[in-house]
Amino acid sequence: MDPEKCLDFGRHYGETWGRVPVRYLHWMVQVGHTQQDRAAKELKRRGSEEVPELDISKHAVDRASLRLLNDWQQTRRWDEGLYSWLLRKGLEALEKGEKEDTGIYVYEGVQWVFQSLDLVWPTLKTVIKRDRED
């Protein structure tokens, strides 16, 4: 196996560098992996050198589109689509929300469920609208 073309180690063994997930490449650079230079080169080739602050899962976008449209419409900025709103609100939830459990924050009547808080950047896995307690 040619290490210039394929990974010869780890979770993505045998994958071509072009198919390795961006998150894994960022992790390699962050931890100082022996192949960090190659990972950085691949990130640059893809135009993905910047590390995002938060990853949003497809499930979270789907869930928000079904359960949080009213919240989005009432609190979004004029140029903010649902994904960008989730990104902003998710980061706010991490910063200002009330931590309920590992990876779960309550913010503005919504449970924000995160995964991988200890890795390169967290992932918003889902959002759950909470019933109001009057």
Write out pLDDT tens, residues 26-61: 888 888 899 999 998 988 888 877 766 788 899 999
Q: The tokens of 129 are what?
A: 């609208």
Read off the pLDDT band of 134 (50, 70, 90): very low
Read off the pLDDT band of 68 (50, 70, 90): very high
Read off the pLDDT band of 2 (50, 70, 90): low
Read off the pLDDT band of 117 (50, 70, 90): low
Mean pLDDT of the chain: 87
Taking the CA atoms of residue 15, residue 16, residue 18 and residue 19 in that order, the dihedral angle to the nearest 10 degrees is: -20
CA separation, residue 61 to residues 37, 41, 112 (Å): 33, 31, 12
The pLDDT of residue 107 is 96
Beta-ladder partners of 28: none
Q: Kindly tell me the sign of the dihedral angle through the C-alpha atoms of 10, 13, 16, 19.
A: negative
The pLDDT of residue 32 is 86
Q: pLDDT: is 12 or 118 the higher one? A: 12
pLDDT mean over 76-90: 93
